[in-house]
Amino acid sequence: MNITHLECALCGLRHEAHTLQNLCTACGKPLLVRYDLQKASASLKKEDLASRVSSLWRYRELLPAVDDKNIVSFGEGWTPLLAASRLAAALPVKLDLFIKDEGQNPTQSFKARGMTAAISMAKELGVTKLAVPSAGNAAGAMAAYAARAGMEAHIFMPSDTPQANIIECGQTGANVTLIDGLITDCGKIVAERKEAEGWFDVSTLKEPYRVEGKKTMGYELAEQMGWKLPDVVLYPTGGGTGLIGMWKAFDEMEQMGWIGSKRPRMVSVQSESCAPIVRAFHAGGRFADEFENAATVASGLRVPKAIGDFLILDALRASGGTAISVPDADLIKAVGEIGAAEGIFAAPEGAACLPALRKLVDDGLVADGESVVIFNTGSGIKYLEAFS
């Protein structure tokens, strides 16, 4: 469509878009897709969106894949932005509080967004075999989209990944290998074997297109709020692709004249037992050291080293935001609190944003009358062991 090139997020080196690419060939950092936004805005006006399909592909001019026949989709995206007035009423300040419920995506998580974009492009570029390391939900999404595309899926997950994810992958035809270790250990196996096995690696931010699917959360947020972004966004952060993608979306929308320069204060939320971004943010680091002995029941937050760490930290600082960690006990308790108040069975990762919001309020970092959006990145139904 309107892609001009790929650009290294760190060193800026330009790469060819219409060929298979993983990381920057110069510095090994993530590649980001760049568009001809003037051309895109000439053919897509924000007023046109009301009559478009109710999926993330409503933003077709701002997404990858040249030929529509290569799009692999289950109708993902356009998830509801739900007012959370009862949760807000329990806070000591008056807020307009919303939950963006990504658990209503296909395969019950926001990971569907990234996989529809990545696997559509893989199909367009002739890939037949895919591999991914995953803590759970990315694996389930990859397996489903690979099956729909007619591709082989090779998945490596920690052995203590929630059973729902493991079963889901097996039942959608994937080749599943369980590893005694963390997602970083799984990633090493994919890296070591992919060339010999003929796999294309769709690891988080190790190819350019998953972030493109996830950036649509930012487009949807703007559209659903009448093109006025909220004051604060709380985002549960493992690999951080969703936060990075939204920050990219805000910039693209401003360049197209859809929104102004105002940005939400972005807040990265992690578990105290795996908080590399929180630690690096408060230490003033541009990059985050690996978090030793990472262990949390919120499996999507159990990412001890994120390749896009500098992009997350840059967005937090540029927005005037912050990074907060919460105990596992608090995030599990919050699942029940959100469920009882609003009827949403949130994933532990998304629920972690509620105790984080309380910390922000207690510290005076969220003011009376502000608008706040919590991202619930998945469905609690995938985490039944966490509640036993």
Instruction: Report pLDDT for 105.
Output: 98
Instruction: Report pLDDT for 283.
Output: 98
What is the rounded average pLDDT for all residues in the chain? 96
pTM over 0.85: yes
13 in a structural domain: no
Q: Which amino acid type is present at position 155?
A: I
Number of continuous H segments (helices) and E segments (strands) in the chain: 14, 13
284 in a structural domain: yes
Instruction: Report pLDDT for 3.
Output: 97
What is the enclosing helix (H) or strand (E) of 326? strand 322-326
Give which of 292, 302, 275 is closest to 162, Cα–Cα. 302
Burial (CB count <10 Å: 0-12, 13-18, 19+), residue 179: middle
Q: What does the alpha-carbon distance between residue 247 and residue 63 come to, in Å, rounded to a whole number?
A: 15
Instruction: Report pLDDT for 1.
Output: 76
Maximum pairwise Cα distance, the chain: 58
372 in a structural domain: yes
Handedness of CA 82, 373, 76, 140 (dihedral sign): negative
Q: What does the alpha-carbon distance between residue 285 and residue 323 come to, in Å, rounded to a whole number?
A: 13
CA–chain centroid gap for 56, Å, is 14
Instruction: Report pLDDT for 388.
Output: 81
274-297 burial: b if 16+ Cβ within 10 Å, else e: bbbbbebbeeeeeebeebeebebb
CATH of the domain at 242: 3.40.50.1100
Instruction: Report pLDDT for 153.
Output: 97
Please give the tally of structural domains in the chain: 1
From residue 101, give the alpha-carbon distance in Å to each of 80, 210, 232, 240, 265.
Answer: 6, 19, 16, 17, 20
Q: Are 372 and 231 in contact (CB under 8 A)?
A: yes
Q: What does the alpha-carbon distance between residue 173 and residue 368 come to, in Å, rounded to a whole number?
A: 50
**Segment 28-37, tens digit of pLDDT:** 999 999 999 9
User: Domain span at residue 100?
Assistant: 81-109+211-387
**Segment 350-362, tens digit of pLDDT:** 999 999 999 999 9
List, for the chain, all residue ranges whose pLDDT scores fall below the cut of 70: none
Instruction: Report pLDDT for 338.
Output: 98
Instruction: Report pLDDT for 135.
Output: 85
361 in a structural domain: yes
